[in-house]
Structure 1
Amino acid sequence: MLQLIQNAHSFPEKTAVVEENHHHTYQDLLDRSALIARSLLAGKKDLDQERVAFMVAPSFDYLAIQWGIWRAGGIAVPLCITYPFPSLQYVIEDTQASIIIASPEFEEILSPYTGNPNIKFISLAEFQHVKESPLPDIERERGAMILYTSGTTSLPKGVLTTHANIEAQISTLVDAWQWTCGDYTLSILPLHHVHGIINVNSCALWSGATVEFLAHFDAKAVFDIFIVGKVNVFMAVPTIYFKLIAYYDSLPRSEQFELNERMKTFRLMVSGSAALPVSVMQKWHQISGHYLLERYGMTEIGMAISNPYAGERRAGHIGQALKGVQIRICNEEDQPLPLDHAGEIQVKGPNVFKEYWGKKEATQKAFTKDGWFKTGDIAVMEDGYFKILGRDSVDIIKSGGYKISALEIEEVLRKYPGIKDCSVVGVPNEEWGEIVGAAIIAEATLEEKRINNWIRERMPSYKTPRKYIFLEDLPRNTMGKVTKNELKKLF
């Protein structure tokens, strides 16, 4: 039996899920997922790694379906509930899903598949009582889940992880972040992404903790749940912390004080999926008493590096390698460098994915000859902590022979009075190769010359932006990460 399912048997009467004042126990989750598994099998002994795509809002039903697919021997393919049909179609057809499950609110958008003879379309309401029958034994090396990369440089790739990969990703974080059955977390992140699926939901359920769902992000609703006094673990992306801070600033002092006191009792607060601005970390510490734990991971590897649970959480840094995960820094020829030299992060360990689905050549290119996964992220170690300099393709600007970190410039710009947020990219230039371009969200009209004079007092002149654009908002994906290739087009 899969370890995640096995662990649930240890907490049958404990509350696993809370949603809109409904409480579901671990036994409820086991029973519902078993019913779904038997329904999916429909008399077969084993789905034998058939791909099952499902479009269900974050909820008890989402978890039961995910577990049901796994228990039936299928590969789970969660669909993003905010994607337009062409994006959903790409995932369904790329994975060659043989079954689609949809909750009622998503049946219309997926209706083109209802008459497809090669795909079994199941409405969530159809999962009723089924005859008891044995469920298959699932080997840990089998495929378990396909999640899609954000596709910032090409078409999204399906990342196939095995049950062994997922167990390694979960157990490593449970150990590093000291999850227990006494924890209670709020799940607000999209569930077609490793952050919400693994770091929040699966770590909690592995440990016997409780997950409360908030289907749609709303700053007031988040703080209202905090005030109730049950949540003690919270994970979000920088954009969410930014929005929570903005809402907090609008509250009267009495409500701010109540939130201050409540959040001080939390055990753990984590930020990830995008670089955390130091300014946001400092402001959040002022209002919550917590230095956010920043970590590093991606769809292909789960989490690989983390600031310590007990110990200094260093702003602007992602910490040290997690237990069981090997990290090295390499040059462009995949030769290892001293850790205090800037280079690509490469990863090896049981957490690393199996393959890009149906893309043998892309899989081969993603690994070195000696089996290390090439992340494409550039980092350096400073005083024992890794620091991300950027992603080689979008965050490292190659200008006039210099390699410039866009993230470093962004961090400085955010300290300029009147700048609410920003993003820096390399803009193609015939003379320099690339020049530094800065997109600014400002509270009022700002003068470029004054910004540049101010920057030159803090950074070398070659890092000063040559082009500026002023925007209402930055283009972002569903995880709040700025889509820099889209931003480049605006220049």
Structure 2
Amino acid sequence: MNLPAIERAKIYDQQIAIATTAGVFTYRDLLHASSQIATHLLENNADLQERRVAFTIPSGFEYAATLWGIWRAGGIAVPLCTVHPRPELEYVITNAGVSIVIAHPDFEDSLRPIAQAHNLRFILTSEPLPDSIALLPPIELTRRALILYTSGTTGKPKGVVTTHQNIQAQVTSLIDAWEWTARDRILHVLPLHHIHGIVNVLACALWAGAECQMLAKFDAETVWNRISEGHLTLFMAVPTIYVKLINAWEHADRERQQQLSDSCAKMRLMVSGSAALPVTVLEKWQTISNHFLLERYGMTEIGMAISNSLHGQRTAGSVGTPLPQVEVRLVDENGELVPPGTPGEIQVKSQGVFLEYWQNPAATAKAFQSGWFCTGDLAVVEDGNYRILGRMSVDIIKTGGYKVSALEIEEVLRSHPAIQECAVVGVVDPEWGERVCTALVLEPQCQLTLATLRSWAKERLAVYKVPTQILVVAELPRNVMGKVTKPAVVELFRSI
């Protein structure tokens, strides 16, 4: 059988699917290019049979066509972050057991050596594609479709495996809740190795037959220019992006400010997610745009689970109620349901919940309780709406929409010759949600500046995991058992 998304694309045919600075591409273009890519990947095989295909491509038509091409050939897509350093790319490629790597020429220098080192097939997007299309394999919805890597409390990122059925459930739930139609036009400014950008924006737009305008990278002035054209109906971003847009608006003259504000008012929906939205940002954005941002809650493992209402009243600090086709409950540490007004762990059950952590059955089993996925997030129900209270683990930091593991960062920092001990924490920040900060105990007679540490760390960690502030201490605060007390470390930074 053909994937439903492919069949739906045939209906929209000559409608615009993707718009970029390079031009506009119809659904017919997307179907044709993805079938060419699938043929190229198959290389005379009948089916990739869930072989993993990693790819690094800037946001745009080639990204969408490659993603669909991998799926149509029967492969599992493993999107790579365009700004990750070699150790992080290599970890994902080896952990996922990737056999094919696809790269845009801009990323050839970073990916070809990895492919060669591991004897993997390497494809550049600039290579010519076949003119004749192969007979593409039937794809069952139960097949694995996507592996996205997310940090866990054990340190190293885990591969979250979702099936085509999982993705379809995530998409149709949002289509229903947010009333997507083929008349929608959305501007895509989010990373495409993250569920927010892949599912909430790109997959939803293509399922609905909408137009997805894709920017290769975020730039506040470029985004404002697109908004000011007045053609967009939807916009989705993380709080950090809204902060940057607010700053750009504030630096514009009054006439320009009025024009931008008027253009925002023409949109039907603006959404914020991936991190807690500070009330001050929500209120400022409402003043500028006349939009009370719709907040929602989700995770890589579950897609979106909770959302404020599209038409009903929204409450600052609330993420609303469970989405269509999603069950949510709050439980205490014993797994018992908590009464309204009492904090509890969010647990989720739906067709959108992921299949497994890649080749990690122990972590998969640990993540579920009686069929419910344990999110590790605390929430409370107030007036029927869910309010997120934060992570149950102090070792998970949410910064700029990314979830990162303090333990993973600590493991890397401890390999620095000047560092004896370290404790990485998230410190609340109005722009980033949390900033990655680290308290350091240095080796005798050693010195280390923030600039030096950041330069060293950027070669080993994604830039959003690199500490933005350091504090050199004689010793780390510990409890009677000798365990570092992270709340006390946070207080050290707050007292600076």
Provide TM-score, normalisation by structure 1.
Answer: 0.83
Match of 1:172 in 2: 173
Q: Deviations over 1:425-444 (max 9, x none)?
A: 999553799575697xxxxx
1:250-269 counterparts in 2 under 5 A? 250-269=251-270
Shifted more, 268-277 versus 388-397: the winner is 388-397
Secondary structure, in 3 states, of the residue corresponding to 2:12? Answer: coil
Counterpart in 2 of 1:376?
A: 376
1:423-474: CA deviation from partner (whole Å, max 9, x where unpaired) = 69999553799575697xxxxxxxxxxxxxxxxxxxxxxxxx576255xxxx
- Return the offset for 1:3: 1.3
Deviation at 1:127, TM superposition (A): 4.0
Aligned position for 1:203:
204
Please say if 1:48 is aligned against 2:72.
no
- Specify the alignment match of 1:125 in structure 2: 126
Q: Note the 1:80-479 alignment, pairs <5 A.
A: 80-116=81-117, 118-151=119-152, 153-368=154-369, 370-394=370-394, 429-430=478-479, 434=485, 436=487, 468=494
The runs of at least 4 consecutive aligned structure 1 residues that moved more than 4 Å come to 419-429, 431-439
Percent of pairs with identical residues: 49
User: Any conservation in 1 of the 2:318–2:388 contact (CA below 8 Å)?
Assistant: yes
Count of aligned pairs: 427
Q: Kindly state the Cα deviation for residue 114 of structure 1 after the two structures are TM-superposed.
A: 4.5
Once residues 235 and 21 of structure 1 are traced to their aligned partners in structure 2, the CA distance between those partners, rounded to angstroms, is 22
Q: Deviations over 1:303-340 (max 9, x none)?
A: 00000001011110111001111111111122222243
In structure 2, how many angstroms separate the alpha carbons of the residues matched to 1:169 and 1:323?
10
Higher relative contact order (CA 8 A, sep 6+): 2
CA change 1:8–1:205 in 2 (3 A) is same
SS of the residue aligned with 1:10? Answer: helix
- CA deviations on 1:104-151 (whole Å, 9 max, x unpaired) are 010110121343574111111224224332111101001000000034
Pick closer, same or farther for the CA change 1:277–1:153 going to 2, 3 Å: farther
Which residue of 2 is the match for residue 485 of structure 1?
A: none
Paired amino acid for 2:269 = L
Local SS of the residue matching 1:243: helix
Letter in 2 for 1:301: I
Whole-angstrom distance in 2 between the partners of 1:290 and 1:12 = 33
Paired AA for residue 214 in structure 1:
L
Alpha-carbon distance between aligned partners in 2 of 1:435 and 1:159, rounded to the nearest angstrom: 27
1:341 Cα shift?
A: 1.4
Which amino acid in the other structure matches residue 174 of structure 1? I
Aligned AA (2:143):
R
Q: What are the ranges of 5 or more consecutive residues in structure 1 without an aligned counterpart?
A: 398-408, 440-464, 471-491
Residues 37 and 435 (structure 1 numbering): CA distance in 2 closer, same or farther, change over 3 Å? closer
Aligned equivalents of 1:428, 1:281: Cα separation in 2: 36
d(CA) in 2 for partners of 1:169, 1:421 = 25
The Cα shift of 1:42 comes to 1.1
Distance in 1 (alpha carbons) for counterparts of 2:80 and 2:17: 23
What RMSD over aligned residues (CA atoms) do the two structures have, in Å? 2.4
Code of the aligned partner of 2:479: E
In 2, the alpha carbon distance for the partners of 1:298 and 1:31 equals 32
Distance 1:151 1:84 in 2: 19
Asked if the contact 2:39/2:130 (under 8 Å) is kept, the reply is: no
* TM-score normalised by the chain length of structure 2: 0.82
- Rounded Cα–Cα distance in structure 2 between residues aligned with 1:425 and 1:125: 41
Query: How far apart, in 2, do the equivalents of 1:27 and 1:276 lie?
Result: 38
Deviation at 1:41, TM superposition (A): 0.7
Give the equivalent residue in structure 2 for 1:31: 32
In structure 2, the residue matched to 1:62 is: 63
- The alpha-carbon distance between structure 1 residues 333 and 250, as it changes in their structure 2 partners (threshold 3 A), is same
**Could you tell which deviates more after superposition, 82-91 or 38-47?**
38-47
Give the 3 Å change call, closer, same or farther, for CA 99–262 of structure 1 in structure 2. Answer: same
Aligned to 2:3: 2
Structure 1 residue 272: Cα displacement: 0.4
Offset from partner CA, 1:288-314 (integer Å, 9 cap, x none): 000000000000000000000010111
- SS of the residue corresponding to residue 107 of structure 1 reads helix
Give the direction of change, closer, same or farther, for the CA distance of 1:52–1:298 in structure 2 (3 Å limit).
Answer: same
**Matches of 1:321 and 1:343 in 2, distance apart?**
15
Q: Is the 8 A contact 1:437 1:468 kept in 2?
A: no
Change (3 A) 1:42 1:336: same
- Kindly provide the CA deviation profile for residues 228-247 of structure 1, in whole angstroms up to 9, marking residues without a partner as x: 12111000000000111011
Supply the distance in 2 between the matched residues of 1:262 and 1:47 (Cα, whole angstroms): 46
Q: Structure 1 residue 353: deviation in Å?
A: 0.1
**Partner in structure 2 of residue 19 of structure 1:** 20
In structure 2, distance between residues paired with 1:396 and 1:117: 31
One-letter amino acid of the counterpart of residue 430, structure 1: N
More divergent stretch after superposition (149-158 vs 166-175) = 149-158
C-alpha separation between the residues in 1 aligned to 2:187 and 2:435? 29
Aligned residues of 1:58 and 1:191 also touching (Cα < 8 A)? yes
Distance 1:349 1:303 in 2: 10
Which amino acid in 2 is paired with 1:468? R
Whole-angstrom CA distance in 1 between matches of 2:212 and 2:199? 12
- After TM superposition, give the deviation of residue 4 of structure 1 in Å: 1.1
